[in-house]
Amino acid sequence: EVRGKLEAVESVQTAASGDAVDDVPDVTLSAATVAANQAQPFGLKDLSFSGMDYATLTLEGAKAALGEPAGQTAAEDAAGGTYLNLTWSGVELIWLEEAAGGRAQSLRVSNAQTEGPRGLKAGMTFEEASSLFLSEGKPGVLYGQPGDTDYGEAVNEGTQTLLTYYTAAESAQSAGSYVLQLVFENGALKEWVLSTSEMRWTL
């Protein structure tokens, strides 16, 4: 379900950018393995980085940390909310604005200047970036089990390796489920995506 929502984020990004949506060819999926380490699992503390707290982020806070966006588009959904797509150099923020308030839906970073959780940066080697978060050394599963509050998985998808980490919170300020995905290509971190997994998709 969460993976489907991540794909839905990408659909919103594509629609907001105006790019044509082409049929995606089938790719081969296989379990990936990360060397075992003693790092901590992805958690709520990792939502704060680069002067931002993703769980409580405001548009003003994003602009204070990243500067004025180079581009911004908007699209309304059937339930009356408005999705904003804000872009900076190598950074893309999907934001949902509703009558009750707004919330970040995803933050995609592909530049090496914007630092993510635990000093994560695009361009890092696979070994360096993957060692920042817990791995028990098992193929396909970094730690935990699907459905656990804290869970990590590793998948080879075509020419890319995807490491995906899940965590959840119940506090009033940061309630929700959060996903961090690292996308590697040719042994280096191509981009990282932080997203809110409890989303309403009625576009």
The residue to which tokens 């993976």 are assigned: 3
Ranges under pLDDT 70 in the chain: 1-25, 171-175, 198-203
The answer to the question of residue 203 being in a domain is: no
The answer to the question of residue 173 being in a domain is: yes
The residues with which 103 forms a beta bridge, in sequence order, are 96
Helices (H), ranges, 121-203: 126-130
For residue 52, give its domain range: 2-18+27-196
The answer to the question of residue 55 being in a domain is: yes
Q: How many domains does the chain have?
A: 1
Please name the residues in contact with 82: beta carbons below 8 A apart, sequence gap of 6 or more.
74, 75, 76, 96, 97, 98
Best CA proximity match to 31, nearest among 141, 111, 132? 141
The answer to the question of residue 67 being in a domain is: yes
pLDDT at 17: 46
pTM exceeds cut of 0.75: yes
pLDDT at 24: 53
The answer to the question of residue 202 being in a domain is: no
The answer to the question of residue 201 being in a domain is: no
pLDDT at 6: 42
pLDDT at 175: 65
The answer to the question of residue 174 being in a domain is: yes
